[in-house]
Amino acid sequence: MGRKTKELLENVVIEKVAAEGKSIAHVNGKVLFVPFSVPGDIVNVQLRSKRKGYMEGYVTEVIKPSPLRTDPFCSHFGVCGGCKWQMLPYSEQLKSKQSQVEDQLSRIGHLELPFIQNIMGSDKTKYYRNKLEFTFSSRRWLENIDELEKLTEKDKMGAGFHISGMYDKVLDINTCYLQREPSNSIRLFVKEYSLDNDIDFYDIKNHTGFLRNLIVRTSTTGEVMVIVVISQSKPEIYTPLLNALKEQFPVISSLNWIVNDKKNDSISDLDVYNYSGKPYMNELMEDLTFRIGPKTFYQTNSEQAYRLYSVVRDFAALTDNEVLYDLYTGAGTIALFLSRYCKSVVGIEYVEEAVEDARKNALLNGIENVSFHAGDMKDVLNSDFIEQHGRPDVIVLDPPRAGIHADVAEVISKTSPAKIIYVSCNPASQARDIALMIDNYKVSRVQPVDMFPHTHHLENVVLMERINN
């Protein structure tokens, strides 16, 4: 007996945008989640899955488009894993993100909230990213598998982004609107040069092939960093490639290469070799200079990063006398940005290389009232550490998407700073963590900041002030 055909739902009215960027409708008393749809659309939906409390499906036909619906600007829209909200006007994207913050803080955290400030939109909704990573694949994604037989081996290869949810499927990208030139030109040049010179692309399933990834970083100072990731050290292959890249793009100020012979694409544990130019690039924020290495974390939207840090500075309202702890400090950007306004700053970060970056940036800017420490937050932040470095008056948190460990929340509560400023890219985990620390605090200010137009992602800043002063 053949597999049962899933149901087609006809004339479904899309009601609103829900969590994770999907839109929501109700059919026969059940919630239906549908991506790539706009409130007000009337659509036919093919079910993917049917669970006890909800259903999921995808649009097969737009019967009547919503008045809100706009034309996507990218030819890869709907297949590429990014920019899933191009069909939604930017003003509507911001409304949805605002609602997401309000809903998750109140529903998940059960928090008593003040008036939430309107989300800060991004002036740039295209070409706003300062970093992109492209993947090279020996078997690019094809919507019609029958096309495969008609293609030559070279035509089967592609360079671009992973299809959402598919680790081994890469969509060949022509033009990406996320990063300014020469990003697209560099990717296309490396692809064409490699094809012309019989450099094979990586096969993630079989772990064969030479060219794996290309990372392009750009700064507001006009500098360009390129990192070419290959599977094995073969100078006879990579040297001519890097020379050609250097000659074609003299704008590249930092050209680097990495050998990755692992089964995953992570480069955090690998050595970086500088081929030409500087082994770093510079980013400016007010009068601070941040030195960005190939593996340095820096917010991917530079202009909005400045606005985000300015919100943190405003919430902190420092008076030159405070001891400030910056937890999950990364390369120390927030710590250094705030250092001139307080007595001292203590930064803690798990990644040792990031801490080294932070120390270098402090030295580069002549900042002496900061110290940076590497280690697991729940192990480093103990009573002995606090006694040595001073009890914090203000704590800034900017953790990974998963949020903070419950033990860290307990230690923070025990240190009892006058203010806790929590910066998060995930309001759900932020709400959960704040609820763990809320007994002696009130949420006094909330400011969402949109760092990622055309996606459902955002940053949110929450100020908690101690009640028992």
- Are 435 and 109 in contact by the 8 Å Cβ rule? The answer is yes
Sign of CA dihedral 74, 76, 79, 80: negative
Overall size of the chain counted in residues: 469
Alpha-carbon distance values, 172 to 143, 176, 204 (Å): 12, 11, 15
3-state DSSP call for residue 185? helix
Alpha-carbon gap, residue 50 to 428, rounded angstroms:
25
Contacts of residue 30, Cβ cutoff 8 Å, sequence gap at least 6: 53, 54, 55
Which residue in 74, 83, 342, 425 is the catalytic one?
Answer: 425
Residue 401 burial by Cβ neighbours in a 10 Å radius (0-12, 13-18, 19+): exposed
Please state, as a whole number, how many other Cβ atoms lie within 10 Å of the Cβ of residue 291: 18
- Are 84 and 21 in contact by the 8 Å Cβ rule? The answer is yes
3-state DSSP call for residue 294? coil
- Are 405 and 325 in contact by the 8 Å Cβ rule? The answer is no
Alpha-carbon gap, residue 145 to 121, rounded angstroms:
40
Task: Report which residue type is found at 428.
Answer: A
Alpha-carbon gap, residue 103 to 19, rounded angstroms:
10
Helix (H) or strand (E) holding 347: strand 344-349
Residue 425 designated active-site: yes
Sign of CA dihedral 91, 94, 98, 103: positive
> Judging by DSSP bridges, how do beta strands 441-449 and 419-424 pair with one another?
unpaired
Place of tokens 């008045």: 67
Please state, as a whole number, how many other Cβ atoms lie within 10 Å of the Cβ of residue 414: 10
Alpha-carbon gap, residue 305 to 286, rounded angstroms:
12
3-state DSSP call for residue 356? helix
Taking alpha carbons only, the member of 131, 38, 42 closest to residue 86 is 38
Active-site residues: which are they? 425
